């Protein structure tokens, strides 16, 4: 009787919600646990495709992304201010945008001639490309670095040289220095993108080899040795870009952070379709005879080349970074 009275006294001074639990413990009557009233929310890990398509798509970069190789000044430019940036609907970016059902809008902001600095600070009076990225962006594509390395004037020097001159390969030391100087600038670009869209997948494209792996004939005043050298500096540029992209991806993985930075090595992507081949994916030397000037389309992708780039990006969207994504969706039961 005293035990029961003590139990009653104990129950009288505890909150109502604990009466049943304490009563079962004190009286040792084996009460069955109460059924939970509902399930807790669950975290679901997103697939790479789900991450990429969950928000908007933003295409950034230089002439290899803007569509310089198929740009037609007589046609309607693609997007606001595109005339000065030579943005073309024939570029890979509009093709990627049209191939997927993105959860947000697609923005095409690549600009011909862009350097890493211009991507960060603006070009032709336009807002910086990187500012187009936002928290709602889930996929960014980017090609950058060729203008930092000075590839356009390098090619000009190679083509304009005297046939027996070594002026092309004599640029080697200067080009290597510019490629080394690119690395910290590219880190700034990727840091800027990640700061604005920390959960996005960022796909960084390398550049294709412009000439056959083993050239055997002269093409537009470029000897076989010149072509091998130009292939080599393209490889060096890709290695630098790829190394910086992989550094970011390793840090993201190490900290278990969302998003990704994925490098797509396009060096062999045009294999069998280089300049001088029967069906090239790159324009050769294009001269405007009326003005006796080199057209900017020279040594940029053709329509087939941009379709190949679109394939590379779409394949990477499907494949992902080769690891589980650390992006999650909170599911309410």
From the list 63, 66, 112, 298, the catalytic residue is 63
d(CA 141, CA 26): 65
Which among 57, 45, 47, 43 is positioned nearest to 103, based on CA atoms? Answer: 57
Q: Give 166's contacts (C-beta < 8 A, 6+ positions apart).
A: none
Q: Which helix (H) or strand (E) holds 94?
A: helix 92-99
Whether 124 is catalytic is: no
Q: Output DSSP code: residue 289.
A: T
Give the bridge partners for 330, in sequence order. Answer: 43
- The label of the residue with tokens 């002439």 reads 63
Q: Give 30's contacts (C-beta < 8 A, 6+ positions apart).
A: 24
d(CA 129, CA 133): 8
Which among 34, 51, 55, 69 is positioned nearest to 97, based on CA atoms? Answer: 55
d(CA 93, CA 57): 9
Rg (CA), the chain: 29
Phi, psi torsion values for 86, nearest 5 degrees: 55, 45
d(CA 314, CA 21): 58
Whether 63 is catalytic is: yes
From the list 65, 86, 143, 300, the catalytic residue is 300
* Active-site amino acid positions: 63, 300
């Amino acid at each position: 009787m005293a035990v029961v009275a003590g139990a009653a006294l104990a129950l009288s001074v505890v909150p109502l919600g604990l009466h049943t639990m304490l009563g079962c413990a004190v009286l040792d009557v084996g009460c069955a646990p109460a059924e939970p009233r509902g399930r807790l929310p669950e975290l679901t890990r997103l697939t790479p495709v789900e991450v990429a398509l969950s928000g908007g798509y933003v295409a950034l970069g230089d002439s290899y992304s803007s569509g310089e190789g198929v740009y037609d000044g007589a046609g309607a430019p693609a997007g606001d201010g595109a005339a000065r940036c030579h943005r073309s609907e024939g570029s890979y970016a509009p093709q990627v945008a049209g191939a997927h059902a993105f959860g947000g809008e697609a923005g095409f902001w690549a600009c011909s001639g862009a350097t890493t600095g211009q991507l960060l600070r603006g070009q032709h009076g336009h807002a910086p490309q990187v500012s187009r990225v936002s928290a709602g962006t889930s996929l960014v594509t980017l090609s950058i670095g060729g203008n930092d390395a000075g590839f356009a004037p390098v090619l000009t020097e190679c083509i304009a040289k005297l046939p027996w001159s070594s002026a092309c390969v004599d640029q080697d030391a200067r080009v290597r220095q510019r490629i080394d100087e690119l690395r910290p600038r590219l880190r700034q670009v990727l840091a800027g993108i990640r700061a604005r869209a920390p959960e996005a997948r960022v796909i960084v494209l390398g550049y294709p080899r412009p000439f056959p792996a083993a050239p055997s004939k002269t093409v537009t005043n470029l000897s076989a040795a010149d072509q091998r050298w130009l292939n080599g500096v393209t490889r060096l540029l890709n290695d630098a870009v790829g190394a910086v992209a992989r550094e970011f991806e390793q840090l993201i993985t190490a900290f278990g952070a969302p998003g990704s930075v994925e490098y797509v090595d396009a060096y062999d992507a045009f294999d069998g379709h280089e300049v001088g081949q029967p069906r090239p994916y790159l324009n050769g030397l294009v001269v405007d005879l009326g003005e006796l000037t080199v057209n900017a389309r020279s040594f940029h992708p053709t329509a087939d080349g941009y379709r190949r780039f679109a394939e590379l990006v779409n394949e990477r969207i499907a494949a992902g970074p080769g690891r589980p994504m650390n992006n999650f969706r909170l599911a309410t039961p």
